[in-house]
Copies of this chain bind each other. A is one copy, B any other.
Amino acid sequence: TQQFFRPTKAIIDLQAIQQNVKNLKEFLRPNVQIIAVVKANAYGHGDVAVARAALKAGATVLAVATPDEALHIRAHFEEPDILILGASPVSFAPYAAQQRIILTAFADDWIQQAASLLVDEALPLRLHIKIDSGMGRIGIRSEQELLELYQTIQSTDHMELDGIFTHFATADEEDTLHFDQQVQFFEKCLAVIPNKPRLVHASNTAASLVKDPHLQYDAVRFGISMYGLSPSSYVKSILPFPLLPAFSLESELVHVKQIKSGDPVGYGATYVAPTDMWIGTIPIGYADGVIRKLGGQEVLIDGQRMPIVGRICMDQCMVALPKAYDIGEKVTLIGRQGNTGVSIDEWATKLETINYEIPCIITTRVPRTYL
């Protein structure tokens, strides 16, 4: 394992991830499979370690966004099914067949072109048809298209229809109008298929946790709450089991100094000390994903909240200290110290975004370490 010399790291609690998966498994109907969504480097938590934890806890399929992510996972895991949720280029089809990676299909053209590349393959290419029931992203939008695709796949050597799925746009909201329309359309689609494939799936975290259990079908796709985060404040208010957050972000003070009343701090000299005060420097900045809009955010030192002052730099930021601390004093940017905590949700509120985005944009300069 690589030695990192900068005292800045993300700490991923794999036990928490396992517990979240186990809790879901107990909550689901019997025999419903868990597809662990580990795309985007497992929402920034580290794809390989999270995949391993999820499989241990009972997940049976790993879902990613891109071919490159699938190959990365496959290089570490021989056995489990891997599903690519997004579009794959036709040129990837033979690799997918060889590596037993399941692709998402939603265009007849694509299927025919892919088929033409599969002539030499020993293994069939497994496909899941994607239904766009109202997300407006990828997927087929009519029963007629679905039947066309179904027939093309059935009549093609080297291809196998393994699944069919859709994705909800508003499963995390209290209002169910749009959600219900998506369900209806998906069910209409299922009804026109002569033979149901092995895996029908529709529910993301929100739908799995708070919607009608029959929508669990054969499998659910478990993303955000595997990481201990809620899909929305509405879902958070009615969670069927508690979620354990898995992501902490820590660093250390690398410099501590006293400055005088009137002394400026940082680029643009935008912060001016209102009084003589102590300033600590933390080796983390916007190139680590602590974006400049987080200026003013509080961090934890010695169990207390202390604000970032001045503009966040590319690799460093400064914090107002109530007194002198030693070099090496621990700084928690996300996580807990004693009774206090700074959550990903707090950052998301400050940045006017969703919790999903936060760990994803903590860049790979920040090593992921595991508990």
Binding site for B on A (CB under 8 A): 4-7, 39-41, 43-44, 65-69, 71, 85-89, 91-92, 95, 106-107, 109-110, 132, 134-138, 141, 169-170, 173, 178, 254-255, 257, 259, 263-269, 271, 279, 281, 283, 286-287, 289, 291-293, 310, 313-316, 318, 327, 351-354, 356-357, 360-361, 363-365
Contact = CB atoms under 8 A, between A and B. Distances in A.
Contacts of A255: 87, 106-107, 137-138
A66 B314 CA distance: 12
Nearest to A141: B257
A287 to B, nearest CB: 4
Contacts of A287: 39-41, 43-44, 65, 360-361
Contacts of A289: 361
A5 B363 contact: no
Contact of A361 (B65, B138, B291): B291
A178 B263 CA distance: 10
Contact of A169 (B170, B269, B281, B292): B269
Contacts of A281: 87, 137-138
Given A141-B257, A314-B39, A283 B360 contact: no
A89 B253 CA distance: 11
A66 B289 CA distance: 16
Contacts of A136: 259, 263-266, 271, 279, 310, 318
A67 B6 contact: yes
Contact of A269 (B134, B141, B267, B292): B134
Contacts of A354: 292
A86 B315 CA distance: 8
Contact of A5 (B88, B132, B266, B364): B88
A228 to B, nearest CB: 17
A268 B356 contact: no
B365 A40 contact: yes
Q: Which 3 residue pairs across A and B have the least CB separation, nearest first?
A: A40-B287, A5-B67, A136-B265
Q: Which of A39, A91, A254, A259 has the most CB of B within 10 A?
A: A254
Nearest to A310: B136
A92 B291 contact: no
